[in-house]
Chain A
Amino acid sequence: MAKKIATIPFSGTAEQEQELRATIDALRDDPGCLMPVMQKAQEIYGYLPIEVQRIISEELNVPLEKVFGVATFYAQFTMSPKGKYRISVCLGTACYVKGSGVVMEKLSEELGIESGEITQDGKFSLDDCRCVGACGLAPVVTINDDVYGRLTGKPEEIREILAKYAD
């Protein structure tokens, strides 16, 4: 699937860059270190803007195309920032047959964004994910580290959950 690339300007700090360079130094001798470096970079910045990919490319001496290629290949890597509250709707089979498609639809309606997008105020981002493995709780939605299970997709229920993240 095509990845959404952020249009907002890059705002990385010097500390973040220092941490990234330190990570690269620690891992650079390991063959196949590109993915671990990128995973760590995403942890530091929250996403992988082209500026960060360029640092990785220069430091590891791999072509930027390759870094970009890896970033676009794997679902975990994102090139647009995520919201303060990251909402993931499980669209794994067990959740899907129990109606997680409806939950996704209602969340999307309520927030006014599609899956893969972020609200204007940067508060919520909405994504679909494949099986978080809590199939006993299907259908499941996670918001950061909170897990909501056995959802029905009723508008009141969705609003009630979102209201918990009003701040």
Chain B
Amino acid sequence: MKNLQDLTAIKEALAAEMAIRLGEVKDGAKYEKHVLMCGGTGCTSSGSMKIADELEKLLKEKGIDQKIFVVRTGCFGLCERGPIMIVYPEGSFYTHVKLDMIPRIVDEHLIGGSPVKEFLYEETVQEGSDHIKALDETEFYSKQNRVALRNCGVINPEDIKEYVARDGYAALHKVLTEMTPDAVIQEILDSGLRGRGGGGFPTGQKWKLARNLVPDADIKYVCCNADEGDPGAFMDRSVLEGDPHVVLEAMTIAGYAIGASQGYIYVRAEYPIAVQRLRIAIQQAREEGMLGDDIFGTGFKFDIDLRLGAGAFVCGEETALMTSIEGNRGEPRPRPPFPAEQGLYRKPTILNNVETYANVPQIILKGAKWYSSMGLGNSKGTKVFALGGKIKNTGLVEVPMGTTLREIIEEIGGGIPNGKKFKAAQAGGPSGGCIPAEHYDVNVDYDSLAKIGCMIGSGGLIVLDEDNCMVDIAKFFLQFTMDESCGKCTPCRIGTKRLYEILDKITKGNGTMEDLDKLEELCYYIKSNSLCGLGQTAPNPVLSTLRFFRDEYIAHIVDKKCPAGVCKSLLQFVIDKEKCVGCGMCAKQCPASAIERTDYIAPGKKLAAFAIDPNKCVKCGACIAKCKFKAISKQ
């Protein structure tokens, strides 16, 4: 690909095929139908690639492999229902697809022409009607606005041509042939795009600093943070798996803007599919001249290499990430100097997160005004969230900034399963905080969340219901940060351990009210004295649960009870003597011989009831599982 004509030619050649995937039938399409099979990590884990292979084999046997095209795409977002398969142009949405469903789908739908209703996503099928709802009319998709994820679940990520057919590399062409570096930076500044990795620093500002701070720098670097470490967050992984070229294109644009010729993507080794697709994408981009010495014949030179992380959460911090690329222990450095001045190998460097980059080409093509028209206040554009925990539609959603939490969880996410009550949403992972039910209508954007002591973070949103204990959740995150603290600075290394110990003491029923004051004091101390973002934000889960769920802490300390029934040491197993029939099954089962017969016989029962000695009970729960009469309960 040398010029705009080449890009246009590819786009036109594939136009009719790509139209099918948007539900339109145009003349000149080679295939009648496209079957899109999700090849993201979630669906692949449940065997989607085997299903795709089987489908292709069957199509060949039936002699219709020239009419029906099987595409392995990135993530569609509704991971809860995986493996997912969509048949276009009609947009039939098959969920929980299994190998044995394939023959029927081939015979009845792909050959016969009528979708197999019982395998379709139930919301798309209406009782007594032949009408099948289109995908974007469903609750899950209708409220979404996909910008960063626009190609995920649409294109084959291993084919650069499909990316080009969706306007890929057109932004790079525009930048290199029509815009000065300063104009590019101005466009990004005007769009209001802010870092999607957690910090929320204005992206254009970062680029401007890297361009101007050291005017005589011989080498500069562009880095991409794909070391998505927040447990429960998988936005970046989905972009890399579903649309790797968008990251390469955006990094090249950034390279032009700041005057760099080398880029590095630091990606988690735990994401094998993403790594593989990035490798393929880089190779294709090099072959097609989208990376290399003379991109689009403009003389601009840029190349990208991969660096694999090795499982250290702290490497998500920018200076630690750069230290790690250099081949060292990934310990953070004091700032200033900031990376824009002295970053990788002490050269001016910018580091942006995957999702941030995924927005850049669209901003260049559609303009800053278009982008900044979405969002709320100082939070422009859209944000991808990974919904997880106690929610019906686990998966990936992209909504305009400022959408309320209630809309995201109740309308898009489908609410809480099993008729339980919403208790809190944990946003921002180990650096973030909890949003309790009283703030269910909060606008999810940088500023509104900051006001209630929380943060968007990288976009993980874990929903908790009444069965989750908030003290236990705080302890879970502190165990995480304690393990992941790199040990370089004292407040973080020792402070997180002390926080963890106090929380552990409380969950075991040995806490005192003074511990709560100690916790708070220690939190503020760690926040203000730690070297890097990991330590500075590590106390957030404690502070935020203390702020909104103090009564739960007090219940653990004063009443020695865990209201959610999670903290084992505080549970008591009790036999209801009125319900006990005296069969003795529980006593036989008990490994600690803690259950003995009493001399009380309940009215209507023949044998004396049993009772549990709380001093001997090890709380294993074996008795509950054995009791047929539901006479034993946890209290």
Contacts and interface: CB of A to CB of B under 8 A. Distances in A.
A70 B327 contact: yes
Interface string B151-171: 000000000000000000000
Bin the interface of chain A by size: 35 or more
A36 interface: yes
B45 A137 contact: yes
Given A39-B310, A98-B389, A73 B486 contact: yes
Nearest to B238: A133
Interface of B: 41-42, 45-46, 79-82, 229-234, 237, 269-271, 307-313, 324-330, 345, 386, 388-390, 394-395, 426, 429, 460, 462, 464, 468, 473, 476-477, 480, 483, 486
- Which of B45, B269, B311, B312 has the most chain A CB within a 10 Å cutoff? B45
- Which of A34, A133, A136 has the most chain B CB within a 10 Å cutoff? A133
Contact of A131 (B233, B328, B390): B233
B388 A74 contact: no
Interface string A21-62: 000000000011111101100000000000000000000000
A42 to B, nearest CB: 9
16 contacts: A32-B325, A32-B326, A70-B327, A73-B312, A93-B429, A97-B389, A97-B390, A98-B389, A130-B229, A131-B270, A133-B42, A133-B237, A135-B42, A135-B388, A135-B394, A138-B389
A77 interface: yes
Contact of B326 (A31, A76, A149): A31
Contacts of B45: 132, 134, 137, 140, 147, 149
A76 B269 contact: yes
Contacts of A31: 326-327, 345
Contact of B41 (A33, A66, A98, A133): A133
Interface in A65-110: 66, 69-70, 73-77, 91-94, 96-98
B270 A94 contact: no
Contact of A130 (B42, B81, B231, B395): B231
B462 A93 contact: yes
Contact of B476 (A38, A73, A96, A133): A96
Contacts of A39: 269, 308, 310
A1 interface: yes
Contact of A97 (B42, B325, B326, B473): B473
B234 A1 contact: no
Given A135-B42, A137-B42, A130 B394 contact: no
Contacts of A66: 328
A159 B159 CA distance: 43
Nearest to B464: A97
Interface of A: 1, 31-36, 38-39, 66, 69-70, 73-77, 91-94, 96-98, 129-138, 140, 147, 149
A31 B345 CA distance: 9
Given A74-B310, A97-B390, 13 more contacts: A35-B324, A36-B308, A70-B328, A73-B486, A74-B330, A91-B231, A97-B389, A97-B464, A98-B390, A131-B230, A133-B234, A134-B45, A135-B232
B388 A132 contact: no
Given A39-B269, A147-B45, A75 B389 contact: no
B269 A136 contact: no
A70 B311 CA distance: 12
Contacts of B426: 93
B46 A149 contact: yes
- Which of A1, A69, A74, A135 has the most chain B CB within a 10 Å cutoff? A135
A134 B42 contact: yes
Contacts of A134: 41-42, 45, 79
Contact of B312 (A75, A91, A94, A131): A75
Given A130-B229, A133-B271, A137-B45, A93 B389 contact: yes
A130 B315 CA distance: 14
Contacts of A147: 45-46
> Which 10 interchain pairs have the tightest Cβ spacing?
A136-B79, A94-B388, A75-B311, A92-B231, A74-B310, A34-B327, A93-B232, A76-B310, A32-B327, A147-B45
A124 to B, nearest CB: 20
Contact of A135 (B234, B308, B330, B476): B234
A82 B307 CA distance: 24
A92 B231 CA distance: 5
Nearest to A66: B328
- Which of B324, B386, B388, B476 has the most chain A CB within a 10 Å cutoff? B388
A133 B183 CA distance: 38
B394 A131 contact: no
A77 B310 contact: yes
Contact of B79 (A93, A131, A135): A135
Given A131-B232, A132-B270, A147-B46, A94 B394 contact: yes
Contacts of A96: 231, 476
A94 B42 contact: no
Contacts of B234: 131, 133, 135
B327 A92 contact: no
A89 to B, nearest CB: 13
